Amino acid sequence: MPSTTRESGSRSRTRRAILDAAIALLATRPQASLAEVADAAGVGRSTLHRYFPERTELLSAVVEDSMAQLTAAVAAAELDRGTPAQGLRRIIHTYFELSPVLLVLFGEHLIDTRKDLVGDLDELDAPVFALLERGQREGYFDAEVSKEWLNRVLWAVVYVGIDATAEGTMTRHAALESITRTLEHGMLARPGA
Amino acid sequence: MPSTTRESGSRSRTRRAILDAAIALLATRPQASLAEVADAAGVGRSTLHRYFPERTELLSAVVEDSMAQLTAAVAAAELDRGTPAQGLRRIIHTYFELSPVLLVLFGEHLIDTRKDLVGDLDELDAPVFALLERGQREGYFDAEVSKEWLNRVLWAVVYVGIDATAEGTMTRHAALESITRTLEHGMLARPGA
DNA sequence: GCACTTTGGGACACTCATGTCCCACAAATG
DNA sequence: CATTTGTGGGACATGAGTGTCCCAAAGTGC
């Protein structure tokens, strides 16, 4: 028997609805109550408890699901193909499009609820690290700072764009352009000059 | 002459202790209970309530105090003196040193509890905006992006350094160097090339 | 149509943070 | 030394979020 027991279509649909609503809600309000999550998912509170008996289990599932989505998206970006320059642009887009997932995972230290998955996190970032390292070797990325630092900066600047977009200050397009430009050029007009 | 009525030394000392503890605590755990705050401040819970009858009042006071500290620090950085390059380095240091205050103000949207102070926030950032604008005019800062964007990026990258320092990944010195380098150069080895 | 599954809502107990009140004790002030 | 001022701790009420249980109704598959 498949470890994955069969799930009567409706069950898996309900589960997905809850997960999606939870991710969207917790991205902006990590302390949202279960009643709010249930409401956002369009299900009763008792139904939510039926799928996730305890809050921590819901959080766990949200983390797992988010990581799975992120892993898939990063893989789809095929960072090992093309030049580092192209890879950078692709990972920027990938991160930017997955904003709710990213927010829920890192924005609020929700990952800490599942210490056992922190290891998988490295595995998840591996393709990005590989890209950064390759770029550093080829003289494209700055080798004076660590690839871990570059990864953090990458995420931080993308976050700035997500935030600016969320509050309506910029359009998605403008944000994407600013992100790319800043990551490639820094704050200066003629860097290195 | 202080319109602030007399405060028996001990009262103001207790108040400061509470405020400092609250800022330090809320910087990392914005949902910390009042009991924890009182504990961290080394006072009884009833004493805390005596100074700040309601949680919202404590939050308000924390925001006000943080903004005052930040305003003073930014003023002390004298961003209108010297070249934009020097100004940038000084504001980086200023932000970096004030990490708890910055975290409590922006890291957790705590500012939203006092909408009336959002206006003062612009006033607070004014010297930074002035620096950025001056730098853009003089051709030092990138003029292809807005000064608001530059300000956000500035804070975001400093935050990366604060975070890396907090979790022990980097020393303060290393973080400061990486922040400066990244802001000036971006992620690339030879930007603009 | 019938049996089985899934659902929503209500009722309940429990925990925890909050806020209030009071009182005895310590510290500062005169 | 006596008074005022500040403090800590306990007792208590309240409200919100959580978790459990149950049952009638709606949905699903055969």
Mean pLDDT, range A27-39, rounded to an integer: 94
What's the first-to-final CA gap in chain B, in angstroms?
59
Which residues, including other chains, have CB under 8 Å from residue B167's CB and lie 6 or more apart?
A: none
How many beta-carbon contacts under 8 Å exist across A and B?
Answer: 114
Nucleotides of D under 7 A from a protein CB: 5-11, 16-22, 27-29
Is strand D less than 7 A from the beta carbon of A40? Answer: no
How confident is the model at residue B11, as a pLDDT?
78
Mutate to test the interface with B, among A109, A179, A188, A190 (most CBs of B within 10 A): A188
CB of A182 within 8 Å of any CB in chain B? Answer: yes
How confident is the model at residue B119, as a pLDDT?
80
Between chains, do A141 and B186 touch, taking CB under 8 Å as contact?
Answer: no
CB of B191 within 8 Å of any CB in chain A? Answer: yes
pLDDT in tens, B16-70: 999 999 999 999 898 999 999 999 999 999 999 999 999 999 999 999 999 999 9
pLDDT in tens, B92-111: 999 999 999 998 988 777 77
Q: How far is the CA of A123 from the C1' of C7 (A)?
A: 39
DSSP structural state of residue B52: -
Alpha-carbon gap: B174 to the closest alpha carbon of chain A (Å): 9
Which residues, including other chains, have CB under 8 Å from residue A4's CB and lie 6 or more apart?
A: none
What's the CA gap between A114 and A124, in Å, rounded?
15
Beta strands in A47-134 (DSSP E): none
Contact by Cβ (8 Å): A58, A22: yes
As a dihedral over the C-alpha atoms of residue A169, residue B80, residue A156, residue A114, rounded to 10 degrees, the angle is -110
How confident is the model at residue B15, as a pLDDT?
95
pLDDT at A193 over 70: no
C1'-nearest nucleotide to the CA of B42: D8
pLDDT at A6 over 70: no
Domains of chain B: 7-53 (1.10.10), 56-185 (1.10.357.10)
CB of B174 within 8 Å of any CB in chain A? Answer: no
